[in-house]
């Protein structure tokens, strides 16, 4: 190590340390403006979660209580840990043809890891991730949910 390198090392070291201290010192001075702590139970009413936050799987229903699920079971196959179970039925169309449709969309929230693979697998965009996260319950069986609302049917035109 030559002498020039030695002093260059000292200078660069001090400079980079000063850069770091400038960052934290700046935070210290304006911490009251840029606080990132969410005071969660207190600010429950105003809490804003990121759009992409994955809390649970929901099935989207429109105002006519219609969804876009065809009962194709692509989500059930995509799920790595058996969270989704779809019970299908056969609808009889007006022309008298039999058509596969969803009867019960069972979702085990207690098994779900929020990996989003089912949402990506869905060909019709029937399910998506909601950003609710207060899932704690006293009875584990209430975590097994039926996602299609009672009386709902497939939206016309979704194949």
| 138 lines the binding site for another protein (CB under 8 A) | no
Pairwise CA distance, residues 116 & 128, whole Å: 8
Q: In the complex with another protein, which residue's Cβ is closer, 33 or 52?
A: 33
Residue 24 touches another protein, criterion: CB under 8 A: yes
Can you tell me the distance from the alpha carbon of 159 to that of 150, in angstroms, rounded to the nearest whole number? 21
Query: Strand 84-92 to strand 153-154: parallel, antiparallel, or no bridges (unpaired)?
Result: unpaired
| Secondary structure (DSSP) of 93-145 | PTTS-EEEEEEEEEEEGGG-----HHHHH-SS--EEEE-------S-GGGGEE
- b/e code 107-119 from CB counts within 10 Å (16+ = b): bebeebeeeeebb
* 28 forms part of the interface with another protein (CB under 8 A): yes
Which stretch in 15-23, 44-52, 105-113, 151-159 sits in contact with another protein by CB under 8 A?
Answer: 15-23
**Residue 23 interacts with another protein (CB under 8 A): yes or no:** yes
Q: What is residue 77's DSSP assignment?
A: H
20: contact with another protein by CB under 8 A:
yes
Binding of another protein by 10 (CB under 8 A) = yes
Nearer to another protein, 20 or 94 (CB): 20
Instruction: Please report how close the Cβ of residue 21 comes to another protein at its closest, in angstroms.
Output: 5
Interface ranges with another protein (CB under 8 A): 9-10, 17, 20-21, 23-25, 27-28, 31, 34-37, 39
């Amino acid at each position: 190590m030559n002498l020039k390198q030695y002093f260059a090392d000292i200078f660069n070291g001090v400079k980079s340390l000063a850069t770091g201290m400038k960052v934290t010192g700046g935070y210290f001075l304006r911490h009251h403006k840029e606080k990132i702590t969410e005071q969660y139970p207190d600010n429950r009413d105003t809490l804003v979660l990121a759009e992409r936050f994955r809390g649970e799987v929901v099935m989207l229903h429109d105002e006519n209580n219609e969804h876009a699920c065809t009962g194709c079971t692509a989500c059930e196959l995509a799920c790595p840990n058996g969270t989704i179970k779809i019970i299908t039925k056969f609808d009889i169309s007006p022309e008298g043809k039999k058509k596969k449709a969803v009867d019960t969309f069972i979702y085990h929230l207690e098994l779900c890891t929020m990996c989003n693979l089912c949402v990506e697998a869905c060909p019709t965009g029937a399910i998506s991730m909601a950003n609710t996260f207060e899932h704690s319950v006293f009875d584990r069986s209430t975590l097994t949910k039926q996602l299609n609302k009672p009386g709902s049917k497939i939206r016309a035109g979704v194949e």
